[in-house]
Chain A
Amino acid sequence: MTKEEEITLRKTACKVRIGVLTATHGAKAGHPGGSLSAADVFTYLYFKELNIDPQNPKWEGRDRFVLSKGHTAPGLYAALAYRGFFPVDDLPTLRHIDSYLQGHPNMDTVPGVDMSTGSLGQGVSCACGMALGLKKQGSAARVYTLLGDGELQEGQVWEALMFAAHYRLDNLCVIIDHNGLQIDGPNEKVMGLGSIPDKLQAFGLNVFQIDGHDFQAMEKAFGAARQVKSKPSAIVLETTKGKGVSYMEGQVGWHGKAPNDEEYTRGMAELSAQLAELEAV
């Protein structure tokens, strides 16, 4: 990846974060913390990795993305909007009555959403079904799914991972947003996860562990994952919850709370400054 391309992705990620703030502020609800920790991977997926066509969101040959941690819909919606699936101006209607931007992703109403999710642990199983179907059809399309770290406490995740390894779904890439925080506190206090990479490896996945805010590292890991044959890949992203907005960073309280007017203004000022800095590079 050239430096220029990296800067472009970082600028886009900044816009996605602005979208997250705009959407959750507009909704007066939603989940900014996990949307911001995953903003970089949303950006990487929708602006670099995925083979998709915003003009034809149901194109059969497209790569699929399943947001298994469906509560971070604001991050997904922002990436989809900036990628051209629907107007960026619609983001503030998130969670409003009669808006198509439901609180959790709805594949029937939002262009570009490949699976309705929200109940943790289910998206990864759905992604397995998609990967199996595409593989059987001889399609070159790949399936990506993003899980939260707390989500790994759902038993179904491990049922799905067994399935993925058993059926050698090498067209499946399981991404974990490891920001270390969940609603009730740090993962290790709520329900210890131990070593996530070790567990994933033991379940038969090819595991990469990288800095989840480093596009160069993402390019290497996602590129290598595409080359892995006969087993699914997992990419564990080490991230900071609330990344990009100083008062949200590392703060568990921002898991599911919207910024008020003052906080929104401050956050937007920070992100605009970051964007301006990148524009000046």
Chain B
Amino acid sequence: MADVKKVATRQSYGEALKELGALHNDIVVLDADLANATKTEIFKKAFPDRHFDCGIAESDMMCVAAGLATTGYVPFASSFAMFAAGRAFEQVRNSIGYPHLNVKIGATHGGISVGEDGASHQCCEDFALMRSIPGMVVMSPADDVEAKAMVNAAYEHDGPVYMRFSRYGAPVIHDADSFAFEIGKGEVLWEGTDVALIANGLLVAETLEAADILAQQGISARVINMATIKPLDEELVLKAARECGKIVTCEEHSIIGGLGEAVCAVIAKHGLPCSVERVGVNDEFGHSGSAGELLRQFGLCAGHILETVLHLFRQPIYKIT
């Protein structure tokens, strides 16, 4: 996919905010001294009187956003995933989640692909943290097109939303003119019957690459882009489990508490005979390095997804007779 255009979804976030800001006067954007990195500066340039820097104070920012929401504004509160979901978790839980206020959290620099900054900034726990808050919508887009559509959908949704964007460029896999996004709906990118690969974020493109190689080896892989982690598209997961019998989840997140566990829970609840392997960060901290090197080293790449699928095919198959 070397020739495919790549866009970091944080850039998409900034651009989408600007477009949306032109249409809706009730949108305000908050940042915590990272407007240059989260790309909310794009909105700030266009609408300086609707952009509020809160200084390096993410906890305060989340509650300010909650207060603004009570007066009818739709605040987009932005920081790195580590600080938005991590540092300010309790503020998000108590001041936004509990009163179910209409705050949108735009968290950039999610996952290990933050790169050189190292483990302190590589948030691989945000899906787990945000999923645990009742009523919170949790999403992560695969590319530029989906990211922009997601920001629009988040604005239209009444209630708290957490969106995770990347610092690292993602190949653009969607066609902007024909793409439609709906919160809570997964997207089948490739039909297949032998195994289902369920991914989100940067790993969607990697999954497509793996599926392509699998096809050459005679394995028909279904590729599902599951941009919404919560509420999860359970129907689509169950259909994949019934029709493929094998699932590999792929996410740039800890294998604890993210998309993988959400998928496992659905399958367990319905007692389906389906093997699941989770590709993700294996309960360890990251470290410094370039994004590309890190993704490969931590197995968040097509090659490792491929190995995982092939491993699954070597396992004895459990069948109900």
Contact = CB atoms under 8 A, between A and B. Distances in A.
Interface stretch (B50-58, B124-132, B214-222): B50-58
A168 B91 CA distance: 23
B56 to A, nearest CB: 9
Q: Which 4 A-B pairs have the closest CB atoms?
A: A129-B67, A133-B71, A125-B63, A159-B60
A122 B72 contact: no
B57 A122 contact: no
A119 B90 contact: yes
Nearest to B95: A122
Interface in A110-131: 114-116, 118-119, 121-123, 125-131
B64 A134 contact: no
B59 A159 contact: yes
A163 B57 contact: yes
A203 B73 CA distance: 27
A139 B73 CA distance: 14
Interface of A: 60, 64, 66, 106-108, 114-116, 118-119, 121-123, 125-134, 136-137, 139, 155-156, 159-160, 162-163, 166-167
Given A116-B98, A159-B57, A159-B59, A129 B70 contact: yes
A162 B32 CA distance: 13
A95 B89 CA distance: 26
B151 to A, nearest CB: 21
Contact of A132 (B57, B64, B98, B100): B64
For chain B, what secondary structure do more than half of its interface residues adopt (helix, strand, loop), or is it mixed?
A: helix
Contacts of B65: 129
A68 B68 CA distance: 16
A163 B54 contact: yes
B292 interface: no
Nearest to A129: B67
Nearest to A145: B67
B54 to A, nearest CB: 6
Contacts of A166: 55
A64 to B, nearest CB: 8
Given A126-B66, A129-B68, A133-B70, A116 B95 contact: yes
B36 interface: no
Contacts of B95: 115-116, 119, 122, 125-126
B99 interface: yes
Contacts of A60: 72
B297 interface: no
Given A114-B70, A115-B67, A133-B71, A128 B60 contact: yes
A127 B67 contact: yes
A200 B273 CA distance: 63
A136 B26 CA distance: 11
B25 to A, nearest CB: 10
B94 interface: yes
B64 A116 contact: no
Given A122-B91, A129-B63, 16 more contacts: A60-B72, A64-B70, A116-B94, A119-B95, A122-B59, A125-B60, A126-B64, A126-B95, A129-B70, A129-B75, A133-B67, A137-B72, A156-B91, A160-B64, A162-B57, A163-B55
A137 B25 CA distance: 11
Given A126-B66, A156-B60, A133 B54 contact: no
Contacts of B57: 156, 159, 162-163
A137 B63 CA distance: 19
Given A122-B94, A156-B60, A167-B52, A130 B67 contact: yes
Given A125-B95, A132-B52, A160-B60, A108 B100 contact: yes
A166 B56 CA distance: 13
Contacts of B63: 122-123, 125-126, 128-129, 156, 160
Interface in B197-230: none
Interface in B126-140: none
Contact of B64 (A106, A125, A139): A125
B64 to A, nearest CB: 4
Contact of A108 (B55, B60, B75, B99): B99
A135 to B, nearest CB: 9
28 contacts: A66-B67, A106-B99, A115-B66, A116-B95, A119-B90, A119-B94, A122-B59, A122-B63, A123-B63, A125-B62, A125-B64, A125-B95, A126-B63, A128-B60, A128-B64, A128-B67, A129-B69, A130-B67, A130-B70, A131-B67, A133-B68, A133-B73, A136-B28, A156-B60, A156-B63, A163-B54, A163-B60, A166-B55
B78 to A, nearest CB: 15
A74 to B, nearest CB: 20
Residue from the set B62, B65, B70, B91 with the largest chain A CB neighbour count within 10 Å: B70
Nearest to B94: A119
B233 to A, nearest CB: 28
B59 A125 contact: yes
A134 B203 CA distance: 43
Nearest to A58: B70
A118 B71 contact: no
A166 B33 CA distance: 14
A118 B59 CA distance: 15
Contacts of B99: 106-108, 115-116
Contacts of A134: 71
Nearest to B60: A159
